[in-house]
């Protein structure tokens, strides 16, 4: 059954016509014909035929001036097919990987030097070229120091390509595995400094990356821990330079009632809470990358609940302790005021003299402290150690700045942000609490808006410390989510700051 055709597409059509003219078949032969017709009518095969025609019209070139435009054109052609075919979708994905941007060059001392080899690309996998190698000749022709000369030589080459290089003679070394948690969003398409936008790696705040190459002081190579090819990201140094002079305000308006459980009821004057080692770098801290390590499942020593006043942190803490008092505990706050007749030492408060408390504050023995109506209140760090020593997870609802003190290998905290719901939901929750008798205070619109705004400020200023965020629009549902998260810590690996491990 000879086929005479002037091009690939018409040849395919003639094959289909010939298949249609064959006598009917039965059984396996009929199934084979159906299968063959299905292949020939596939849009993928037709697209390949069109590509074949275009390749026959012009010589296949190793390098073209418009390689990027050509890839983009192919991707546009594949866009519709990708919605119908997984094969086309996979091809489109491959074409968007940085394998096509495998090597970059720089001119140094009149020589053409390999400046970068992207990790995971074909050149890197072959291992024949290395950063620092000097390209001298292509198929016996010198390239000099002009990258365009190299391009022309590769374009005119046919068959195998022989490179003559002057190796860099760098001693091979196994790079240390480095993993980081990102604290900012990055889109290479919007970065005017990146040397090759198509080779960049996009990521969002909270993503985990493996740094695979740090040879370039300004551009690291990294990939997502979930997998995928490597790409360029700005180095810590480069991003610090970019952000060093960006004015940032992380200060939060201090609020009453965030320290001690007894501070409720009538209106109180504003208090200023201070934390141990409350560094000035709050205002200048640059959120870029944080090196982390993956640990097998383990129990955290502290659970820290962060959130705006009135968002339900204390209710969640009390529910957790009542649910499993053998597993969870909390501290007893200290105060310099005298006990009331009905109060007993260690039940609600531990009572000490003002002089003693001031001395301990100066000695850095308090996680946080504040003053209300002439009396001092605070949380001693030793009281946290006491709960942990008793074999319990110490549950704390503290000021956000206290997280910096707790976030160490000694306390290994799991930090949960209890986020305020939207204004209308918060108002409905307050109304329901009043009707059920759970609360006796009706919040004004100003109170509700203050809670929502404070919640947003905390999230902006301290979000990089959070391991989990829960919107408390329903206390029971939020409590179940908190329980589930704590159980997960006992069964799944955890990414933690590398300082906790080494």
φ/ψ region of 333 (left if φ > 0, alpha if ψ in -120 to 50, else beta) reads beta
> Chain centroid to CA 370: how far?
35
Task: Give 364: exposed, middle or buried? Use CB within 10 Å, 0-12, 13-18, 19+.
Answer: exposed
Report the DSSP pairing between strands 328-329 and 393-397. Answer: parallel
* 366-392 confidence digits (pLDDT tens): 999 999 999 999 999 999 999 999 999
CATH placement of domain 178-243? 2.30.30.40
Looking at mean pLDDT, say which of 117-121, 134-138, 214-218, 366-370 comes out highest. Answer: 366-370
Residue 102 banded pLDDT, cuts 50, 70, 90:
low
Q: Predicted confidence band at 262 (pLDDT cuts at 50, 70, 90)?
A: very low
Predicted confidence (pLDDT) per residue in 40-56, tens digit: 566 666 666 666 665 55
Task: Kindly report, residue by residue over 451-499, the tens digit of the pLDDT.
Answer: 999 999 999 999 999 999 999 999 999 999 999 999 999 999 999 999 9
Q: What is the CATH number of domain 274-500?
A: 3.40.50.300
Percent of residues, the chain, with pLDDT higher than 90: 42
| Domain 274-500 in the same topology as domain 99-166 | no
pLDDT in tens, 319-353: 999 999 999 999 999 999 999 888 888 888 999 99
Model pTM score: 0.62
Residue 16 neighbours by CB under 8 Å, 6+ apart: 37, 40, 41
Alpha carbons 210 and 39: distance in angstroms, whole number = 41
**Fold of domain 99-166:** Pdz3 Domain (2.30.42)
Beta pairing class for 328-329 and 111-117: unpaired
Model confidence at 263: pLDDT above 50 = no
Beta strands in 310-442 (DSSP E): 328-329, 334-335, 344-345, 348-351, 366-372, 375-380, 393-397, 413-419
- The backbone torsions φ and ψ at residue 425, rounded to the nearest 5 degrees and listed phi first, read -65, -40
Q: Where are the domains of the chain?
A: 8-96, 99-166, 178-243, 274-500
DSSP 98-122: GGGG-EEEEEETTEEEEEEE-TTSH
């Amino acid at each position: 059954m000879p086929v005479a055709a002037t091009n690939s597409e018409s040849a395919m059509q003639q094959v289909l016509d010939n298949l249609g003219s064959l006598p009917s078949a039965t059984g396996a032969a009929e199934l084979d014909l159906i299968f063959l017709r299905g292949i020939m009518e596939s849009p993928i095969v037709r697209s390949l035929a069109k590509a074949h025609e275009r390749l026959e019209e012009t010589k296949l070139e190793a390098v073209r001036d418009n390689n990027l435009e050509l890839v983009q054109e192919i991707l546009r052609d594949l866009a519709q097919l990708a919605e119908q075919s997984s094969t086309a979708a996979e091809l489109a994905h491959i074409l968007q990987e940085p394998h096509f941007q495998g090597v970059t060059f720089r001119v140094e001392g009149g020589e053409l030097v390999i400046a970068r080899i992207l990790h995971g690309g074909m050149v890197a996998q072959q291992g024949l070229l290395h950063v620092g190698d000097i390209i001298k000749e292509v198929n016996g022709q010198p390239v000099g120091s002009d990258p365009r000369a190299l391009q022309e030589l590769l374009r005119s080459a046919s068959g195998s390509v022989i490179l003559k290089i002057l190796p860099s003679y760098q001693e091979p070394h196994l790079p240390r595995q480095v993993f980081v948690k990102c604290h900012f969003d990055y889109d290479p398409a919007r970065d005017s400094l990146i040397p090759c936008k198509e080779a960049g790696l996009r990521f969002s705040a909270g993503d985990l990356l493996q740094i695979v190459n740090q040879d370039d002081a300004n551009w690291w190579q990294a990939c997502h821990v979930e997998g995928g090819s490597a790409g360029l990201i700005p180095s810590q140094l480069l991003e610090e330079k970019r952000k060093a002079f960006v004015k940032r305000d992380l200060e939060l308006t201090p609020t009453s009632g965030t320290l001690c459980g007894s501070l409720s009821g009538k209106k109180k004057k504003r208090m200023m809470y201070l934390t141990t080692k409350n560094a000035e770098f709050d205002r200048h801290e640059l959120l870029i990358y944080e090196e982390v390590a993956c640990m097998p499942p383990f129990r955290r020593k502290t659970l820290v609940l962060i959130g705006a006043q009135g968002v339900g942190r204390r209710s969640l803490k009390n529910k957790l302790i009542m649910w499993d008092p053998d597993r969870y505990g909390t501290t007893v706050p200290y105060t310099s005021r005298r006990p009331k007749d009905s109060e007993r030492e260690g039940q609600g408060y531990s009572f000490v003299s003002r002089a003693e408390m001031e001395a301990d504050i100066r000695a850095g023995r308090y996680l946080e402290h504040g003053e209300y109506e002439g009396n001092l209140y605070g949380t001693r760090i030793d009281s946290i150690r006491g709960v942990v020593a008793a074999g319990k997870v110490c549950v704390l609802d503290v000021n956000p700045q206290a997280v910096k003190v707790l976030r160490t290998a000694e306390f290994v905290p799991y930090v949960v942000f209890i986020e305020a719901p939207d204004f209308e939901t918060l108002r409905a929750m307050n109304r329901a609490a009043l009707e059920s008798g759970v609360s006796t205070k009706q919040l004004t619109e100003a109170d509700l808006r203050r809670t929502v705004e404070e919640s947003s400020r905390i999230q902006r200023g301290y979000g990089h410390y959070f391991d989990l965020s829960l919107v408390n629009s329903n206390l029971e549902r939020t409590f179940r989510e908190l329980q589930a998260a704590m159980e997960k810590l006992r069964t799944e690996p955890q990414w933690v700051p590398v300082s906790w491990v080494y």
